[in-house]
Amino acid sequence: MGAFLFLFFFIVAITGLTLGWKKNSNGWILPATMKGSSANLDTWKTTKELLKISDSVLINKVDKSLSTELDRIDIRKDKGVVKFLYVDNYWEIQLDGQSGTVLQISQRRSDFFEDIHDGSFLDRYFKTNGEPIKLVYTSIMGISLFLFTVTGFWLWMGPKFIRNKKRK
């Protein structure tokens, strides 16, 4: 079983290590959050206006062939920034919430590594609903890791326990 799961554990280990370092990668894995001009939401453009700007930037400055299908919007009020995260190739557009000025255009490699880490990239690739592949993958990996940990501990501790029982 361990030989079969070796490749999967290797992938989980490498992507987990990468995700652990994402905020310390000088923006290569996870783009740094920029600082906008105001944390006062009353002075900000509407989300609809900001999305229109972000979609335009994605199409005109990144690649005309990319989809504007949105994965999520990340609002950082304290920094005055709105991040628009796109499904297609993990692009992120950061805008100043007040002015709509583009603060940064970058790819979120961390989202790619996370999708590999938890198996959801297969659900994305096969366009499945409800992430069934991710659920099966994480269940198998979690149960396997648990069983390997318990059996490994027993292989280490068991002989000591048996020797101590024989001495008594």
pTM recorded for the entire structure: 0.85
Within 10 angstroms of residue 120's Cβ, the number of other Cβ atoms is 19
Q: Which amino acid is at 120?
A: S
What are the beta bridge partners of residue 107?
91
How far apart CA 72 and CA 88 sit, in angstroms, is 12
Q: Give how many domains the chain has, as a whole number.
A: 1
Residue 164 lies in a domain: no
pLDDT of residue 101: 98
8 A C-beta contact, residue 30 and residue 22: yes
pLDDT averaged over the chain?
95
Side by side, the strands of the sheet bearing 102-107 are 70-76, 81-86, 91-96, 102-107
The residue whose two tokens read 């199409």 is: 59
Residue 100 lies in a domain: yes
pLDDT of residue 167: 79
Q: pLDDT of 30-81, one tens digit each?
A: 999 999 999 999 999 999 999 999 999 999 999 999 999 999 999 999 999 9
Q: pLDDT of 70-112, one tens digit each?
A: 999 999 999 999 999 999 899 999 999 999 999 999 999 999 9
Question: Which structural domain range is residue 120 located in?
Answer: 2-157
pLDDT of residue 107: 96
Residue 77 lies in a domain: yes
Residue 123 lies in a domain: yes
At residue 8, does pLDDT exceed 90?
Answer: yes
Residue 163 lies in a domain: no
Residue 162 lies in a domain: no
Residues 6+ apart with CB under 8 A from 11: 116, 117
Residue 168 lies in a domain: no
pLDDT of residue 37: 97
Residue 117 lies in a domain: yes
At residue 168, does pLDDT exceed 80?
Answer: no
